[in-house]
Amino acid sequence: MFITFEGIEGCGKTTQLEMLRDHLEWKGRQCVVVREPGGTELGERIRNILLVMEDEAEGIEPWAELFLYSASRAQLVKNIIRPALEEEKVVLCDRFTDSTITYQGHGRGLDIDAIRTINSYSTFGITPDVTILLDCPVETGLKRAWLRIENSEGSPEDRFERETLKFHVRVRNGYLELAQKEPRRIRIVDGTREISVIHEEICDIIDKVI
Ligand SMILES: Nc1ncnc2c1ncn2[C@@H]1O[C@H](COP(=O)(O)OP(=O)(O)OP(=O)(O)O)[C@@H](O)[C@H]1O
Ligand SMILES: [Mg+2]
């Protein structure tokens, strides 16, 4: 069982993923939690490169960015995700291929068909069984994310939080478009509600699928 969490910054992915992990473990399921980019030695190094490049004057070319994310993903799928799925564990992944389509495609404007092709290689063809799309207005998500940054001594952990509002609106709309195309896999969950209410809905969705 492969579950991914998607949505704009601050929509509640990490919060809800951790709560679902607790729920599933309570039900006796073995879970593996991973994040993108990262989750392996190579992936964490790539994550650091992406963070450092944010502060460099040179910036990062969108195609270069796409390949860095893809390299991290290939390593993560091969070393962690695929073996865990083979052992029939539940894999919970904080962002996956849909993020690449929405951020690099809808957000940065790279060719979406090309991204899909690259995704199919970087994942070795593995696709999520269910994707929880936490949807909320961009202003709500960014406000939450900024609050979190202020509370953690101000070093932004995510490079995209500094992007313009318009960029995030394109990303949000991109997600909603993907969900329309793949309604069976991608479940839209209203992320504006209380944390516990959202959690209950996600548990319902996953319990039915498992
Ligand atoms: N439903 C909610 N209502 C109010 N606050 C929330 C809700 N869900 C999460 N938060 C808070 O908003 C902040 C962002 O949540 P979280 O880190 O889970 O989002 P995220 O989607 O993982 O963000 P990012 O993409 O930046 O990793 C946290 O401080 C969290 O406690
Ligand atoms: Mg998060």
CATH number at residue 181: 3.40.50.300
Query: Nearest ligand to the C-alpha of residue 161?
Result: 1
Buried b (16+ CB within 10 A) or exposed e, 139-172: ebbbebbeebbeeeeeebeeebbebeeebbbbbb
To test ligand 1's pocket by mutation, which of 5, 15, 17, 132 has the most ligand atoms within 8 angstroms of CB? 15
Any ligand 1 atom below 6 A from CB of 198: yes
Count of domains observed in the chain: 1
pTM of the complete model beyond 0.85 = yes
Any ligand 1 atom below 6 A from CB of 172: no
Q: Which pLDDT score is estimated for 158?
A: 53
Please tell me the number of Cα atoms within 13 Å of 23 on its side-chain side. Answer: 18
Any ligand 1 atom below 6 A from CB of 12: yes
Q: Which pLDDT score is estimated for 146?
A: 82
Any ligand 1 atom below 6 A from CB of 148: yes
Of ligand 1's listed atoms, the one at least distance from the Cα of 16 is 18
Quick one: which of 78, 88, 97 has its CA closest to 36?
97
Q: What CA–CA distance (Å, rounded) separates 6 from 62?
A: 20
Any ligand 1 atom below 6 A from CB of 206: no
Query: Nearest ligand to the C-alpha of residue 192?
Result: 1
By alpha-carbon position, which residue is closest to atom 16 of ligand 1?
Answer: 12
Q: Mean pLDDT over residues 3-12, rounded? A: 97
Q: What CA–CA distance (Å, rounded) separates 159 from 187?
A: 26
At residue 153 the predicted structure's pLDDT band, cuts being 50, 70 and 90, is: low
Mean pLDDT in the chain? 93
For residue 15, the CA-to-ligand 1 centroid distance in Å is: 6
What percentage of residues in the chain have a pLDDT greater than 90?
Answer: 84
Of ligand 1's listed atoms, the one at least distance from the Cα of 15 is 18
At residue 8 the predicted structure's pLDDT band, cuts being 50, 70 and 90, is: very high
Residue, of 44 and 162, whose pLDDT is higher: 44
Residue, of 80 and 151, whose pLDDT is higher: 80
To test ligand 1's pocket by mutation, which of 6, 8, 14 has the most ligand atoms within 8 angstroms of CB? 14
Q: What is the pLDDT of residues 66-97, one digit of tens each?
A: 999 999 999 999 999 999 999 999 999 999 99
Q: Provide the domain limits for residue 28.
A: 2-209
At residue 55 the predicted structure's pLDDT band, cuts being 50, 70 and 90, is: confident
